[in-house]
Amino acid sequence: MLSRTAINSGPCLLRSALSTAPCVECGAWHITGKHGSIHTWGDNKTWVIWVGCRSGYHWTLTKARLGFCTVTQDGDDEGCLRLHELPTAGQAETIRAVLGLKKRREDTPETLQRLRDRTGGWNAMEPQVIGEPAD
C-alpha cells in the first residue's frame, strides 16, 4: 500500500497543482490531475505516479514519454510509475501534461497589486455607485 504524505518540496511540478487535497483518513497530501495522480512512495523519498489512459496504445506511448520513471504496475490501459528523484523542469512539464495538471500562473508583485487595485471593490461591504441614476 502506498503512503500518501505531503510532497512539500521540489521544483515547479509540485507548486503547479491546482487540485491538491488531504486524505481524509490520514491527513496526508496527494496531487490529482485529470488523467492521474502523484503520491509519495512508502519511503517518503520517492514518488509514484498513477496514470489512466484512453487505450492500451495510449498507455504504451505514455510509458515512453515517462521513460525517466520505472514502471511498477503495468495494466492494459493504466499503470503506476515510480519517480526516484525530484524532476527536472522538462520532466515536470511532461508529468504535468500526462497527468492533466495546469501550472499555476506566477505573477510579479506589480501585476498582483494592479489586479488587487482593479478588483478590490468587488467584495466591498457597501454598494458602489457607478453612475448617476436616470430620472
Low-confidence ranges of the chain (pLDDT < 70): 1-29, 123-129, 132-135
Strand runs (DSSP E) across the chain, as ranges? 20-22, 29-32, 36-40, 47-52, 70-74, 78-83
Short-list 130, 18, 37, CA closest to 80: 37
Q: Sheet holding 47-52: strands in order across?
A: 20-22, 29-32, 36-40, 47-52, 78-83, 70-74
Q: Model confidence over 78-95: pLDDT tens digits?
A: 999 999 999 999 999 999
Give this prediction's pTM. 0.63
Q: Model confidence over 110-123: pLDDT tens digits?
A: 998 988 888 877 76
Short-list 53, 51, 61, CA closest to 77: 53
